[in-house]
């Protein structure tokens, strides 16, 4: 009996202890803070295919507008961030636009062919208006792509006959920058017409487009040296460069030099090599044309010049000729002429003060800043549209106008040393233009503090014994007392 009572009492004690332990564990569990749960960070939203296609196509169009690779990458980065994406990275080359998209699963790479010719000025202006619209409103990528399609497929603003007239007028304008004789004007008109016809035929015949530099320079050389008295007043070498000025690789060489200076090695090297190759093709065409004629007969040389006004009128003709040939936007000719004359004045001043290289440097520097300044005016064209005509005015003068012809004709008495000097002089001129453009772009885009901000900060930094500091302090105290009363 006693053993049964002891077992029952022991069981009750054990059950009470187990119940108490369970209650204690439960209360401690309820009081314990919840363990943190590790959630997987949200994945980056995928980049829409239409946005990717839009950005790549804008990059290709900017290459056709004459922008450097670094400038195109900067614009594309801004547009991608405007659409709320920061996982897109671009690499721009003269022949392709590469894009890499970061995802959780890795990276995706895409490419778009960028082999495109130079866009007309009206399409360049429309392209920059579209870029401004995207930065302001961020329309759906599909709508922006439709606008870009419409822009790039529209016909040039100038009909073919006006483009041909513009080619002739531009050739005469570039030639008048040399202050030639009156007979040379006939040669500029004839050769400008011939090159204009060949250029328009090359747009339709692929074989001619590939050989256009050689064919055009050969035909120009044949006509210039076959009729030196009639077309050039006995100085046919003055006709060579103005006639093929629109075929000179000035943009390639200048942009390539800028890209090499800013670290874009692949893009810069490819542009420079392409530009030098184009120069040699033009020289080869001139050599072939002169060789076809055989022995050149001597003709009387006329040293008469038109006068001091010839280069000034030449700038005017370059402006109108380039606007017609490149289909400039409506109501932009006045702005183009303003930039052209300011650039010519800077080039003229630098040339007479320190030499041709200084002139081309100052011309490039002033052209960029003038184009940036007029962009702020209402109804003014974009910077690139206003700058390109001035740039094309600098290039023919920078690439030795008579040195190339002397090199082809072996007129240089110093032989190989003279030929090397001609080539080095041409490259130095292009580098001078590129340096001016690069420095000018840096000055135009630099953010300088406003004058009002500087004046406001001056009293706090000036010594207290300066008289105007006390005057300003007294004036401030007086205004406070007046407002308090």
pTM, two decimals, is 0.77
In this predicted model, what pLDDT tens digit does every residue of 19-51 receive, in sequence order?
776 766 667 666 656 555 555 555 555 678 888
Q: What's the confidence (pLDDT) of residue 420?
A: 55
pLDDT of residue 415: 44
Question: What's the pLDDT band for 418 if we cut at 50, 70, 90?
Answer: very low
374 pLDDT band, cuts 50/70/90, is: confident
**Which carries the bigger pLDDT value, residue 455 or residue 218?**
218
Q: Which residue from 274, 305, 199, 183 is spatially nearest to 236, judged by alpha carbons? A: 183
Residue 324 has pLDDT above 90, yes or no: yes
Report the pLDDT averaged over residues 97-114.
Answer: 79
Give the pLDDT score at 50. 86
pLDDT number for residue 214: 92
Which sign, positive or negative, has the C-alpha torsion 80, 81, 86, 89?
A: positive
Q: What is the pLDDT of residue 116?
A: 74
Is the model more confident about 321 or about 102? 321
User: pLDDT tens digits, residue range 375-408?
Assistant: 878 778 888 888 888 887 887 655 544 455 555 5
Is the model's pLDDT at 483 over the cut of 90?
Answer: no
Lowest-pLDDT range of 88-97, 119-128, 213-222, 443-452: 443-452
Q: Sorting pLDDT into bands at 50, 70 and 90, what band is 5?
A: low
Question: What region does 369 belong to: left with phi over 0, alpha with psi -120 to 50, or beta?
Answer: alpha
> Mean pLDDT of all residues in the chain?
79
- How far apart are the C-alpha atoms of 59 and 266, rounded to whole Å? 17
Is it the case that residue 253 has pLDDT exceeding 50? yes
Q: What secondary structure, in 3-state letters, does 346-381 show?
A: HHHHHHHHHCHHHHHHHHHHHHHHHHHHHHCCCCCC
Listed range (49-63, 118-132, 292-306) with the worst mean pLDDT: 292-306
C-alpha 374/C-alpha 369 separation (Å) is: 9
Based on DSSP, count helices (H) and strands (E) in the chain, helices before strands.
21, 3
């Amino acid at each position: 009996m006693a053993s049964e009572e002891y077992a029952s009492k022991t069981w009750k004690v054990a059950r009470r202890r187990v119940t108490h332990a369970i209650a204690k564990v439960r209360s401690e569990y309820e009081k314990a803070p919840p363990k943190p749960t590790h959630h997987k960070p949200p994945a980056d939203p995928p980049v829409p295919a239409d946005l990717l296609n839009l950005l790549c196509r804008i990059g290709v169009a900017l290459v056709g507008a004459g922008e450097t690779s670094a400038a195109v990458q900067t614009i594309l980065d801004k547009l991608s961030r405007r659409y709320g994406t920061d996982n897109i990275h671009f690499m721009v080359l003269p022949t392709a636009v590469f894009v890499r998209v970061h995802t959780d699963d890795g990276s995706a790479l895409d490419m778009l062919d960028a082999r495109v010719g130079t866009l007309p000025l009206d399409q360049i202006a429309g392209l920059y208006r579209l870029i401004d619209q995207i930065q302001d409103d961020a329309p759906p990528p599909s709508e922006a792509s439709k606008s870009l399609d419409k822009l790039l497929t529209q016909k040039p603003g100038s009909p073919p006959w006006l483009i041909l007239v513009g080619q002739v007028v531009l050739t005469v304008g570039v030639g008048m920058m040399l202050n030639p004789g009156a007979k040379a004007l006939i040669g500029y008109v004839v050769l400008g017409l011939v090159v204009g016809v060949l250029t328009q035929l090359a747009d339709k015949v692929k074989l001619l487009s590939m050989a256009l530099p050689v064919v055009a320079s050969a035909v120009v050389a044949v006509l210039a040296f076959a009729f030196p008295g009639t077309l050039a007043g006995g100085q046919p070498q003055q006709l060579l460069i103005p006639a093929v000025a629109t075929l000179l690789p000035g943009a390639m060489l200048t942009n390539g030099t800028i890209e090499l200076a800013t670290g874009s090695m692949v893009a810069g090297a490819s542009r420079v090599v392409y530009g030098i190759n184009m120069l040699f093709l033009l020289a080869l065409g001139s050599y072939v044309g002169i060789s076809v004629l055989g022995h050149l007969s001597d003709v009387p040389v006329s040293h008469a010049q038109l006068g001091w006004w010839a280069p000034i009128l030449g700038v005017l003709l370059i402006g109108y000729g380039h606007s017609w040939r490149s289909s400039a936007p409506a109501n932009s000719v006045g702005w183009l002429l303003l930039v052209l004359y300011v650039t010519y004045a800077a080039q003229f001043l630098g040339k007479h003060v320190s030499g041709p290289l200084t002139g081309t440097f100052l011309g490039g520097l002033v052209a960029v800043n003038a184009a940036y300044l007029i962009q702020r005016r209402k109804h003014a064209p974009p910077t690139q549209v206003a700058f390109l005509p001035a740039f094309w005015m600098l290039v023919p003068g920078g690439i030795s106008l008579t040195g190339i012809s002397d090199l082809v004709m072996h007129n240089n008495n110093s032989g190989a040393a003279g030929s090397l000097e001609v080539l080095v002089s041409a490259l130095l001129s292009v580098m001078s233009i590129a340096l001016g453009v690069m420095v000018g772009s840096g000055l135009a885009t630099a953010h300088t503090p406003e004058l009002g901000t500087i004046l406001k900060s001056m009293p706090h930094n000036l010594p207290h014994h300066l008289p105007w500091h006390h005057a300003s302090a007294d004036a401030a105290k007086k205004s406070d007392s007046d407002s308090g009363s």
